[in-house]
Structure 1
């Protein structure tokens, strides 16, 4: 259970209700632009991906944690698209003969200090499709909108009921009045889900993600249960991701939140105490990791192992107000608690020994 979430940051989305005719798509002159691109703020130094695809004979592009943008052809291989209130962006594709090799996005300097450079990743071309084509159903509640396919119809009432019954208490606990409507998009299989979050070929344990401050993307609960062999509580999964959305409403776009704070809050306020400390050898052997080691754990496991307990400790020892201050200061222990990380870690592990390991 502890591995079923994937984090990262911000966006919105589109809904489609028609599958595309493959023959028509193949003949579309926009087809040559369709593909995956590795993107960065410097040429040749990508750090995220984007997908260009065709929907109803129009070319769209989606960047990580962003909404889908419909591209309008200006001249040659140059397109334009609108992005929030920042105005028109210019996207120019690079060609090598008839082949599209990359693009450059010129961004308004009033909003961004740099442009974006994309390089075609031909190995992923086959995944460059409209991932929303199978989400034919929509159900709304006062604060949530759910888009899904036929396989997940039976889960929707429970998901929305759980979210609505917890909505007010959750947002109030973070001193918010509302975060606007939140969308949940549920994809019918792993390939479509991973493609929808721009990580085709990702590990099977990646099943859900807070795509933005107002959107959750997740794998079909039915498929998740079949994949893991576990009786996954989908309502708890969605609550966890919704707390991530709330968190994103409290920080600036693009903020890199410390993993222990990010996952700890989502488990403590959304759900749940998943980890048995008795089964963690490094804890039983008192090889206690520092916050830095937890953050640098590439498997992400330690963030799930200890995140809940860190927030539990902070809440009980210092009070929820200090937790909120840490959210505002993005986990800066020194600024909020006036103590070094080393002293904080020692205090935390004493708390863990006394309250969960029963070591006096």
Structure 2
């Protein structure tokens, strides 16, 4: 059932692969009501909706912040410049981790599997393991710095050093210690 709906969704949205949701900008998202599931990940389309909605929230924060540096009266120029800035500066690990966290998409078996790979944030930018372990990144962050740090981190385009006042290496070491202690 999922494959049929998923293929139709991907055809309709122009996406490739197995997406079950997509943010279409700061004010719009689409998702498959019945999505992929198994015994580990039960079908929960409301979590998918919240995940995609959180992407829209991130985009609104990012666009608002980008207005400070992308100065133009032309909306098309702004949109093109923002897309370049987003692609170059906003990390996939942060983009997905916040949405995963807000939707409470976490499974301890998946976390343990991803944890065993010892992935760095840079590696998570290129890996689908972000969906298995992303929750824990934001869980660690909000436990240590509070939930109010998230909008600041988003607005800084994920600049850990500027927002958290520690290096990325220190952040990763703290996150790994958090994983060891909690998972």
Please report the TM-score for the alignment, with normalisation by the length of structure 2. 0.74
Cα root mean square deviation, aligned: 2.4
Matched, 1:193 2:5: no
Residue equivalent to 2:74: none
- The residue that corresponds to 2:119 in the other structure is 289
- State the match for 1:266 in structure 2: 99
Structure 2 residue corresponding to 1:219, chosen from 14, 17, 32: 32
Task: Find the aligned partners of 1:330 and 1:303 in 2 and give their Cα distance.
Answer: 18
Bigger relative contact order (CA 8 A; separation at least 6): 2
- Return the offset for 1:196: 2.6
Quote the offset at 1:275 in angstroms: 4.7
Match of 2:66 in 1: none
* C-alpha distance 196-275 of structure 1, shift in aligned 2 (>3 A): farther
Shift of 1:340: 1.5
State the alpha-carbon separation in 2 of the partners of residues 190 and 322 from structure 1: 35
- What stretches of structure 2 of length at least 5 have no aligned partner? 64-81
Partner of residue 326, structure 1: 153
* Structure 1 position 190, deviation (Å): 3.7
- Taking the aligned partners of 1:290 and 1:319, their CA distance within structure 2 comes to 22
Greater strand fraction, Structure 1 or Structure 2:
1
As a proportion of its length, which structure holds more helix? 2
Bigger Rg, which one = 1
Q: Indicate if the aligned counterparts of 2:93 and 2:134 stay in contact, CA closer than 8 A.
A: yes
Count of residue pairs brought into register by the alignment: 157
Q: How many Å apart are 1:220 and its aligned residue?
A: 4.5
TM-score by length of 1: 0.40
Give the equivalent residue in structure 2 for 1:241: 52
Partners of 1:304 and 1:241 in 2: CA distance: 13
Describe the shift of the 1:294–1:317 C-alpha distance in structure 2 as closer, same or farther (beyond 3 A). same
Structure 1 Cα separation of the partners of residues 50 and 31 of structure 2? 12
1:86-105 equivalences under 5 Å are none
What's the offset of the Cα at 1:278? 6.2
Q: Which ranges in structure 1 are unaligned for 5 or more consecutive residues?
A: 5-187
